[in-house]
Amino acid sequence: MMDLTDRHARVFLRLLSRHTRLYTEMITTGALIHGDRRRFLAFDPSEHPLAIQLGGSDAAELAACARMAEDAGYDEVNLNVGCPSDRVQSGRFGACLMAEPDLVAEGVAAMHKAVTIPVTVKTRIGIDRDESTDRLYALVERVRAAGCRTFIIHARKAWLDGLSPKENREVPPLRYPVVHALKRDFPGLTIVVNGGIASIEACAQQLEHVDGVMLGREAYYNPWLLASVDPVLFGEAAPVESRAEVVERLMPYVMARCAEGVPVSAITRHILGLYQAVPGARLWRRTLSEQVHRPGTSPEVIRAALTHVENRKDDERLVA
């Protein structure tokens, strides 16, 4: 997710689940080829399994960026054919590429030839007001022939004219049966469903029909959800037993990055949702939000916020 799932967010989320595959925010081919390549490709070894998501449409550029990703150690290259923002339309990548399946297939074929790691595609079930699934099936057919075996399908259409990116995550109706039917019609492909899934129970229900589930903003804004993934979906013990343990395990990473000059706020912004929907959530967010921007703030502000929250929970138990 652009501007959200950077390397700091991913290190934090990895603490909650060993098995969940993490994805970078979408990185354009232009940014990698002409920008600060080292910064865009950087990740912590703890993030594996890790996929990089690319935005672009030029086959040669996609192949070059896929090679960069493989050389950097990524486990998968994912091509975004689903982002509906105006910026991606003007740059000829994202959801508008659903109208150009041959161009997508050309890019996937070039990446597939350039690397040995899996090349996957994330898309939507359609674009604009067309209610048929012909466009989706045409895309999958052509891209499958180009070597792609895994498709992540956001179960909404993208309305490219008239809706903001936020509205495109909420207004077009979710149509999970379309994704389920795609799996039935292409049983040899790995089909992963995305969109509107907000609980582990909902994940389990979807897995009766498809091969995988991608969680987006729900996992970011309510990250404790991921602590149930390993025990419920993989039959293994959770890597952490409490939110406090997550904070303590994150602290060495925070200390190391801040020693390199990273502002503590660049990391704390990703952990504001850790106490979502439990006592102390507002206190946690307020303590971090008010303190981190003060001059000289150290990583210890995180432990201070944790102490405030845990003490409040203890006080509530005493009253009860």
| pLDDT tens by residue, 11-67 | 999 999 999 999 999 999 999 999 999 999 999 999 999 999 999 999 999 999 999
Reading the block at residue 85, the tokens are 């923002």
Q: Which residues are bridge partners to 151 per DSSP?
A: 121, 191
Name the amino acid, one letter, at 218: E
Mean pLDDT in the chain? 91
What does the alpha-carbon distance between residue 180 and residue 210 come to, in Å, rounded to a whole number? Answer: 6
More confident residue, 319 or 125: 125
- DSSP-derived letter for residue 161 is T
Report the percent of the chain where pLDDT is more than 90: 77
140 residue type, one letter: V
Contact between residue 112 and residue 176 where contact means Cβ atoms under 8 Å apart: no
- Separation in Å, CA 288 to CA 183, 188, 200: 44, 47, 28
- Cβ atoms < 10 Å from Cβ of 80: 23
Q: Is the pLDDT of residue 126 over 70?
A: yes
Q: How far apart are CA 89 and CA 192, in angstroms?
A: 24
Q: Which of 14, 11, 13, 20 is nearest to 230 (CA)?
A: 20
CA distance 68 to 31: 12
- State yes or no: is 83 an active-site residue: yes
**Each residue's pLDDT tens digit, 178-210:** 999 999 999 999 999 999 999 999 999 999 999
pLDDT at 88: 55
Asked whether the predicted pLDDT for residue 319 surpasses 80, the reply is no
CA distance 296 to 161: 46
Q: Are 222 and 273 in contact (CB under 8 A)?
A: yes
How is residue 124 written in tokens? Answer: 């939507």
Domain residue extents for the chain: 7-233, 243-319
Q: Which of 83, 96, 148, 203 is catalytic?
A: 83
Q: Which CATH number among 3.30.70.260, 1.10.10.10, 1.20.120.1460, 2.60.120.260 corresponds to the domain 243-319? A: 1.20.120.1460
Average pLDDT estimate for 277-287: 89
Predicted structure pTM score: 0.92
**N-term to C-term CA, the chain:** 41
Task: Give the H or E element holding residue 81.
Answer: strand 76-81
Question: What is the dotted CATH code of the domain comprising 7-233?
Answer: 3.20.20.70
Per-residue pLDDT tens for 132-172? 899 999 999 999 999 999 999 999 998 877 777 778 777 88
